[in-house]
Structure 1
Amino acid sequence: MNKKIVVIGSSNVDLIMKMDHLPEKGETVTNADFFQVYGGKGANQAVAAARAGGNVAFVSSVGEDAYTPQMLKNYKNDSIDTRFVFEEAGIASGHALIMIGDQGDNYLSVAPGANYKLTPERVDQALPVFEEAGIIVMQYEIPEETIKHVIDLANTRNIPVLMNFAPARQFDFSYIPKIDILVLNEVEAGFLAEMKVKNEQDAEQAAIKLIEQGVEKVIITLGAQGAFVRSKNEKIAVPAFKVNAVDTTAAGDTFCGAYAVANAEGMISRVALQFASAAAALSVTKMGAQPSAPTRTEIEDFLKQSL
């Protein structure tokens, strides 16, 4: 694959507590296991895409702290192009505090730190990588003005944009039609389509509404109910793979990274969805965000056993 998957987004340090149940308000759970791993939706998607076989470049901002050298080393170990991972002085990297219960459900809080230093000016410094891009992948843990700037740059260069609108928050909706592929869960679909999404039928109506606004393709992930892709001409749904969930953190990120690879390789819609769904299923069987992203071999072996 010559064209790069250019992931533009966040890098975080994840501080994780695994416990037998999530605390109620005012409750202290004292028997947790502690882990420190690396995350951030952008970094998770970049790592997932690289391990799934993609030629990946990552554009991000990290802080001036003890975690940065290891973070960069990890990206390079996954053969990610880190030329435009900017090291910001006088600020910490993004941090996430994550509590995980016995069923794999989680509470999550994020301090953006250096992620909000990924400005349009920083993106302009990374323009050389746009010339190598086959697709651009983004999420919403970086400033809105940066996302809009990237979309404009991509549109003028005819580079498709895959946007994972996560976490769902206020956005200039006039930019939605400029996005080629939207990857959403039910909450994000409802937020963007400005409607309540309670089931798969609602999710499909939300997808149709977004397509009518100009989005070429909408993918909605439904957790244990699987995922579907909707465009003007097709709707294809695939069921979820049954696995024993240990930690659902970054399952959506793994899906996005693997789907970007499938798209870049020209897989047909059903095969691309199955490939991404298999990667996401494998990711929930392990602890941590980036440590749980499966390799290409693991994904292909799992598909052979499961289909």
Structure 2
Amino acid sequence: MQRLTLLSLGSINADFQVRVDEPAGSRETQLAHDLCRLSGGKASNTAFLGARFGHRSLLLGRVGDDELAEQALAPLRQAGVEVDHVGRAAGQSTGVSMIMVPPDAKKNIVLATNANDCWDEAAVDAMVAVIDGCETPACLVLDYEVPARVVNKALEAATRKDIPAVLDPSFPDRVDEELLPKLHAITPNVSEAEGLVGHSLGSMDKLADAARQLQRDGPALVCIKLGDGGCVLATTELTLHIPPSEVEPVDTTGAGDAFTGVFAVALLEGLEPPEAAAWGVAAANLAVTGYGSQPAYPDRQQVVELARTLLDKATVLDG
């Protein structure tokens, strides 16, 4: 297999995760257990998957000059992710994600972006230089949990280099809609898609229409990640619903990142969009069967086997 390059730009966090026995916020003080200190953040998670699937994986982002930086970076380094281009924000804390996982497995997250939002011009220039000098074939995965100007500069650099870009539009209010035509793909969840189109999406018909609307606005591919673990894919040729598999969820943390990361890897490897989306759904579904994000992420063989069965169950949506 040819070793390709996945570039991941966005949030890098130290995750503090606990289980709670009642829904989050059900009382002022809740007892928790099973504390885990992990590496997290959207860019970290997609970079982890790039390395896990056998490709060169470069992480671009910012951590603080504190002890939490190693919590965020050490597991990635061990997994084979290249973290040499992650900058340190002087006087800042590394991003922190505080995660509570209730019995229904649907996590609740409080995120302090911290160093993720601290980019000076030197840091932006260094990031652009990495993209400019990147070996191709490559794919750039982006999220808006860093400043919009940073994402915009990265996307401009990728466009100059003819590197396709996949955007996870978190946070949707930061998205520069004028840059959407420069994207190869976008992977919002339902609430993010609602933020982008400006109205609620309470039915499959509305989700399909929203996917087609976003696709017409620029990206060649749109995948709306559904709450049940499936997705709606829109291309210029078709709109497709890929259903989830029947899994028992343990923890939904990082499932959306698993979708985006593996979807990007599949596109990078040259898979057709329906198969790439099925890989994403399979990765997200398998990710919820373990506790934590990166520790629960599946390998290639698991994804390929499940994706094959999911694609057989996919249905074309009229519109």
SS, match of residue 295 in structure 2: helix
C-alpha separation in 1, matches of 2:166 and 2:59? 14
Q: How has the CA–CA distance of structure 1 residues 301 and 218 changed in structure 2, closer, same or farther, with 3 Å as cutoff?
A: closer
Compute the displacement of 1:206 (Å): 1.2
C-alpha separation in 1, matches of 2:263 and 2:236? 19
Equivalence for 1:79? 80
C-alpha separation in 2, matches of 1:292 and 1:32? 18
The answer to whether the aligner puts 1:176 opposite 2:180 as a matched pair is yes
C-alpha separation in 2, matches of 1:192 and 1:250? 21
Percentage of matched positions with identical amino acids: 27
The answer to whether the aligner puts 1:211 opposite 2:212 as a matched pair is no
Question: Retained in 1: the 8 A contact 2:99–2:107?
Answer: yes
What is the TM-score with the length of structure 2 in the denominator?
A: 0.89
- Structure 2 spans left out of the alignment, 5+ residues: 313-319
C-alpha separation in 2, matches of 1:270 and 1:173? 25
Equivalence for 1:281? 285
Equivalence for 1:132? 135
Letter matched to residue 273 of structure 2:
S
Question: Retained in 1: the 8 A contact 2:17–2:36?
Answer: yes
The answer to whether the aligner puts 1:158 opposite 2:162 as a matched pair is yes
Compute the displacement of 1:165 (Å): 0.5
The answer to whether the aligner puts 1:147 opposite 2:148 as a matched pair is no
What is the TM-score with the length of structure 1 in the denominator?
A: 0.92
Deviations 1:191-235 (A, max 9, x none): 112222112211111122122222211111113261121012122
SS, match of residue 187 in structure 2: strand
Question: Retained in 2: the 8 A contact 1:52–1:299?
Answer: no
C-alpha separation in 2, matches of 1:238 and 1:119? 41
Q: How has the CA–CA distance of structure 1 residues 23 and 129 changed in structure 2, closer, same or farther, with 3 Å as cutoff?
A: closer
Q: How has the CA–CA distance of structure 1 residues 272 and 14 changed in structure 2, closer, same or farther, with 3 Å as cutoff?
A: same
C-alpha separation in 1, matches of 2:72 and 2:24? 30
Compute the displacement of 1:25 (Å): 5.4
C-alpha separation in 1, matches of 2:195 and 2:71? 36
C-alpha separation in 2, matches of 1:119 and 1:164? 23
C-alpha separation in 2, matches of 1:23 and 1:125? 40
Question: Retained in 1: the 8 A contact 2:144–2:175?
Answer: no
C-alpha separation in 1, matches of 2:234 and 2:309? 27
Question: Retained in 1: the 8 A contact 2:14–2:69?
Answer: no
Name which of structure 1's ranges 250-259 and 201-210 shifts more when overlaid on structure 2: 201-210
C-alpha separation in 2, matches of 1:31 and 1:119? 38
Question: Retained in 2: the 8 A contact 1:119–1:146?
Answer: no
SS, match of residue 141 in structure 1: coil
Question: Retained in 1: the 8 A contact 2:39–2:71?
Answer: no
Equivalence for 1:262? 266
Question: Retained in 2: the 8 A contact 1:119–1:143?
Answer: no
Letter matched to residue 93 of structure 1:
T
Deviations 1:219-274 (A, max 9, x none): 11113261121012122322111111011011000111111110011112222122
C-alpha separation in 1, matches of 2:153 and 2:260? 21
SS, match of residue 249 in structure 2: coil
Give runs of ≥4 in structure 1 deviating > 6 Å. Answer: 304-307
Compute the displacement of 1:33 (Å): 3.1
Name which of structure 1's ranges 111-120 and 296-305 shifts more when overlaid on structure 2: 296-305
Q: How has the CA–CA distance of structure 1 residues 74 and 112 changed in structure 2, closer, same or farther, with 3 Å as cutoff?
A: same
Name which of structure 1's ranges 32-41 and 146-155 shifts more when overlaid on structure 2: 32-41
- Mapping of 1:14-25 within 5 angstroms? 14-24=15-25
Question: Retained in 1: the 8 A contact 2:141–2:165?
Answer: yes
SS, match of residue 48 in structure 1: helix
Letter matched to residue 28 of structure 1:
T
* RMSD over aligned Cα atoms: 2.1
C-alpha separation in 1, matches of 2:54 and 2:151? 25
Question: Retained in 1: the 8 A contact 2:43–2:143?
Answer: yes
- Structure 1 spans left out of the alignment, 5+ residues: none
Question: Retained in 2: the 8 A contact 1:120–1:145?
Answer: no
Higher relative contact order (CA 8 A, sep 6+): 1
SS, match of residue 153 in structure 1: helix
Deviations 1:127-184 (A, max 9, x none): 2344325111001110011111111112222211100102332433222222220111
